[in-house]
């Protein structure tokens, strides 16, 4: 590679390794992959783990509430919840807040699973081989990014978030 080609590669806005979307996608797959062998003995997939986390924190919850918390579409959650129900971890019953809605509640087995799940974060940190302080910092930065770019009501950027043309649209 000659010097001119190297100079173009250094500033190429379309270079794959400069794309934020690529770095986030690869990091996401690798981190979620780290959870798989940790969650398998518990009988959970990563998306099911997220639903269980939401329920352990906020039980009972309507499907729409879970969808908002874990940021998945209700249609995506329905089969996942059916599998959790078949596994005996959750039940569906009328919501105490709105009898027109069904709410998910943990079963005794679902509540007991929390004891085992309390070891998951520590196991993930050990598997990643990254300092806890670095992970805390990364989590804070990602949470800030999510808050800034998440749409508010009506698909508009959240209050205080930059407009669409002001958002990060290119590589980092």
Strands 61-62 and 90-94: unpaired
So what's the pLDDT on residue 98?
75
Distance CA 107, CA 9 (A): 56
Q: What is the mean pLDDT of the chain?
A: 85
Residue 91 has pLDDT above 70, yes or no: yes
Tokens linked to 125: 């940190």
Which DSSP state fits 30?
A: H
d(CA 170, CA 18): 9
Does the structure show a pLDDT above 90 at 159? no
At 94 the three-state DSSP class reads: strand
Q: Residue 154 pLDDT more than 70?
A: no
Question: In the prediction, which pLDDT does 7 show?
Answer: 58
- Which one, of 126, 111, 112, lies nearest residue 38 by Cα? 126
Characterise 95 by phi-psi region: left (phi > 0), alpha (psi -120 to 50), beta (else).
beta
Other C-beta atoms closer than 10 Å to the C-beta of 110 total 21
Res 162: pLDDT: 40
**Is residue 79 within 8 Å of 41, Cβ to Cβ?**
no
| pTM score | 0.79
Angle at 75 between CA 55 and CA 96, to 5 degrees: 40
| Residue indicated by tokens 């003995």 | 41
State residue 151's pLDDT score: 79
The answer to which of 17-31, 92-106, 117-131 has the lowest mean pLDDT is: 92-106
Per-residue pLDDT band for 106 (boundaries 50, 70, 90) equals: very high
Other residues' Cβ atoms within 10 Å of the Cβ of residue 60:
20
Domains and CATH numbers, the chain: 16-150 (1.10.10.10)
Does 41 score more than 60 pLDDT?
yes
Q: What is the pLDDT of residue 1?
A: 57
More confident: 168 or 54: 54
Proportion of the chain above pLDDT 90, given as a percent: 70
Give pLDDT, residue 167: 33
Distance between CA atoms of 172 and 167, rounded to whole angstroms?
12
């Amino acid at each position: 590679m000659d010097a001119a080609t190297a100079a173009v590669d250094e500033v190429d806005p379309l270079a794959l390794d400069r794309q934020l979307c690529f770095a986030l996608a690869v990091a996401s797959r690798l981190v979620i992959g780290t959870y798989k062998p940790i969650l398998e003995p518990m009988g959970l997939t990563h998306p099911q783990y997220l639903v269980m986390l939401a329920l352990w924190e906020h039980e009972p919850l309507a499907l729409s509430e879970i969808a908002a918390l874990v940021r998945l579409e209700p249609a995506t959650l329905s089969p996942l919840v059916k599998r959790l129900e078949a596994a005996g971890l959750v039940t569906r019953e009328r919501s105490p807040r709105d009898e027109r809605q069904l709410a998910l509640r943990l079963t005794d087995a679902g509540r007991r699973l929390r004891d085992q799940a309390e070891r998951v974060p520590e196991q993930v940190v050990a598997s990643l081989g990254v300092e806890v302080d670095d992970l805390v910092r990364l989590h804070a930065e990602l949470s800030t990014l999510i808050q800034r770019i998440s749409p508010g009501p009506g698909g508009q950027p959240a209050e205080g978030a930059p407009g669409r043309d002001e958002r990060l649209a290119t590589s980092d």
